[in-house]
Each structure stands twice: as structure tokens, then as C-alpha cells.
Amino acid sequence: INKINSSIDRNDIFYSFEYFPPKTEAGVENLYSRIERMANLNPDFIDITWGAGGSTSDLTIDISTTAQNLVGVETQVHMTCTNMKKEDLRAALQTLKDNGLQNILALRGDPPLQSNDWVEVEGGFKNAVDLVRFTRQEFGDYFGICVAGYPEGHPNGNYKQDLVYLKEKIDAGADYVITQLFYDCDQFLKFVYDARAMGINVPILPGIMPINNYNSWMRMIEFCKTKIPPNVQQQVEQLNVEDDEQVREFGIKLCVDICKKLLSSGIKGLHFYTLNLEKSVTRILEELDIQREIDQRSPLPWRPTANVKRQ
Ligand code: FAD
């Protein structure tokens, strides 16, 4: 078993893929096939989201367990405090441990769709930092812990204060950071610079989100209050937004440009929000030409455990 943190603080380029739990059984089966196919792209790890309000907790754990133990990719499990009492969180963490999963992304969670305010459950936690502390208290160093960072500030927070809270999460024992999606590269680089200036020295992986469909992209960037830089906005305005193919091609080019700029600025790891689709991420990696050699000698399932060191 491997802790992601021990493999990402290094000098070569690497990437990881996020998936979410599908709603139907057929969807889950499709997802396994997709994870398996995309494992041929050699991601360092994958992660599985925890549905809003804890709605998918069991499924998230099932999918993560299968992905890691059967498909053989190192898998990180998102976990939120929403609607989870301490004992529920302890039980979920214990299940992960029993299943051989060793990496979590510790989050507070979003408010349910109907409400604006996030309310802690009685006997639960208020912020992600509490979950980080709890995990360290109860499970020591067993888990590698990732936390969320916000290059543009949290939608309900404030940029500077959020950095203070991020530092708190690291001081409480988090090992590294994955950021919210963004399309303003300079803002991400500023965020890394500001984090370093505050003594946050752990790896910070940029969250890259391709565009698969105009309307769902719009919903996402409105929800996250993501800034669209003027030059990107100009290009978006030229698009025929009904034409999914054109929109997707635009998204690929946009993400390739962002990734190139990040890589040339010294960023080593890229985290892709796949949206459970493979085309865009595959194309982006092809165009970046950073895909690692596939080990032809060992067909799937080629890694009985995910801790085999890849070159
Ligand atoms: P926190 O770090 O607790 O921050 C939440 C808010 O509280 C911020 O406004 C912050 O400024 C403030 N705050 C933080 N610490 C303190 C403190 N000590 N005292 C007072 N205020 C504080 N959501 C899901 O439901 N499921 C997922 O799988 C999921 N995956 C995500 C993955 C990534 C990479 C990211 C960036 C987000 C993800 N989210 C997910 C969304 C996330 O749950 C929301 O953004 C949520 O609103 C904040 O979570 P957090 O862990 O950043 O919370």
C-alpha cells in the first residue's frame, strides 16, 4: 500500500484523474471499464468524489476499493463532514483501512442544493481541518491526507483568510493540496506563491477541468464562481455553444494551453477533473506529449497492489 504523498513530491511530470460515482449500476460498470482504459494513460493515482451531503458514501468506498484492489490504480477517497457524525466518519475511515485504502481527500462539503448555508451535523465537524485532526488522532500516520485549496478564494470565503485556513489544515497534518478548477493560470501561480510565502510547503496540484458541454460547464463555473479571463471569454463568445464537438475542442485547446503554461512555470503534477469522460483528458495528454510509457509486459490487471513503483 502506498501513500500518494510519498510519490508526488518529486521532479518528473505526473498527473491524476478524478471520477464521480455514477447513479446506476450500469453506470458503475461503465466507470470501471473507463478507469481501466484510462489506467493505460498511467495516472499516478485516481480519486473518487463523495456525493453532496454524503449521499454516495458507500458507493464511493465500493468504487474506490474496486479501483485500487482490482483495477490496480492507487485510489484516493474524498470524504466530507456533511451529515456525518464523528462515529460515522470513524467507521468510514476504518472501512477504508480494512479495504486497504490509504489516501483520503478531507473536505468540509457543500451545503445541500436547496440551502445556501452549510450547517454542521450534531456530533460532527465544522470544517475540513477538524476531519484532518480527527483522522490523525484516530489513525496516526496510516492515511495520506489531501485537502482542498482555492486559487481564487472559496466562494463564501476570502482569499487571504482562506490561505490562513489552508495553512491550518496543513499544520493539522494534511500532506498535500488539490485546487479548485480555474482558467486563470496567473492566479493559480500567485496562489502557489502566496501559499509558499505563508510557509505552506507541501505539493499543490492544480485542478484542470476540460469542457464537455457548454451548459454544464456554465453551471459549474457559476457554482464555483470561477473567473474566466477576458481573452478566454472572447474565445467563448465566438463558439457555437450548441455544437458539443466544437465546445469540446475549444476546452481541449484551453486546457492544453493552461497545462503548458503550468509545466513551463515548474509545476510538476496535474490533476484532471475527468467528469467521467475520457476523450478530452486523453487528447490533452496526447497533445502535451507527457504520457508515460505503457508497461507492455504486464497486461491488466497488471498490478495486484497499486504500490508498484513505475518508472
Ligand atoms: P474548509 O477548508 O472547511 O473551508 C470551508 C469554508 O470555511 C471556507 O469558506 C473557509 O474559508 C472557511 N473555514 C475553513 N476553516 C475554517 C476555520 N477553522 N474557522 C472558520 N472558517 C473556516 N464536495 C463534495 O461534497 N464532495 C466531494 O467529493 C468534493 N470534492 C472536492 C475536491 C476538490 C479538489 C475541491 C477543491 C472541492 C471539492 N468539494 C467536494 C467541494 C467542497 O466540499 C466545498 O468547496 C466546500 O464548500 C468546502 O470544503 P473545504 O474542504 O475546502 O472546507
Residue 122 has pLDDT above 80, yes or no: yes
One-letter amino acid for residue 284 of the chain: I
Contact 1, 251 (CB under 8 A): no
Best of 49, 55, 125, 165 for a ligand 1 pocket test (most atoms within 8 Å of beta carbon): 165
Whether 173 contacts 35, CB under 8 Å: no
The 3 state secondary structure assigned to the chain is CCCHHHHHCCCCCEEEEEECCCCCHHHHHHHHHHHHHHHCCCCCEEEECCCHHHCCHHHHHHHHHHHHHHHCCCEEEEEECCCCEHHHHHHHHHHHHHCCCCEEEEECCCCCCCCCCCCCCCCECCCHHHHHHHHHHHHCCCCEEEEEECCCCCCCCCHHHHHHHHHHHHHCCCCEEEEEECCCHHHHHHHHHHHHHCCCCCCEEEEECCCCCHHHHHHHHHHHCCCCCHHHHHHHHHCCCCCHHHHHHHHHHHHHHHHHHHHHCCCCEEEEECCCCCHHHHHHHHHHCCCCCCCCCCCCCCCCCCCCCCC
Q: Is the CB of 274 under 6 A from ligand 1?
A: no
> Closest ligand 1 atom, CA of 162?
11
Radius of gyration in angstroms for the set of CA atoms belonging to the chain, rounded to a whole number: 19
Which phi and psi angles does 82 have, rounded to 5°? -60, 125
What ipTM does the predicted assembly reach? Answer: 0.98
pLDDT band at 308 (very low <50, low <70, confident <90, very high): very low
User: 22-32 pLDDT, tens per residue?
Assistant: 999 999 999 99
CB atoms within 10 A of CB 63: 24
pLDDT digits (tens, 9 = 90+) for 207-258: 999 999 999 999 999 999 999 999 999 999 999 999 999 999 999 999 999 9
Residues 6+ apart with CB under 8 A from 30: 22
Verify whether residue 138 is a known catalytic residue.
no
Separation CA 277–CA 275 (nearest Å) = 5
Confidence grade of residue 293 (pLDDT, cut at 50, 70, 90): low
* 71 or 111, greater pLDDT: 71
What is the separation of C-alpha 277 from the centre of its chain, rounded to a whole number of angstroms?
Answer: 15
Q: Taking 50 as the threshold, does the pLDDT of residue 309 lie above it?
A: no
What pLDDT is attached to residue 224? 93
What tens digit of pLDDT does each residue of 176-193 get? 999 999 999 999 999 999
Residue pair 251/280 in contact by the 8 Å Cβ criterion: yes
The amino acid sitting at 218 is M
CA pseudo-torsion sign 124, 92, 162, 281:
negative
Nearest C-alpha neighbor of 39 from the set 262, 266, 285: 285
Cβ of 172 below 6 Å from ligand 1: no
User: How many angstroms does the Cα of residue 198 sit away from the middle of ligand 1?
Assistant: 19
Nearest residue by C-alpha to atom 49 in ligand 1: 108
Amino acid at the residue 68: Q
Specify the residue with its C-alpha closest to ligand 1, atom 6.
Answer: 157
| pLDDT at residue 34 is higher than 70 | yes
Q: How far apart are CA 45 and CA 68, in angstroms?
A: 9
C-alpha cell belonging to residue 65: 476499493
Mean pLDDT of the chain: 90
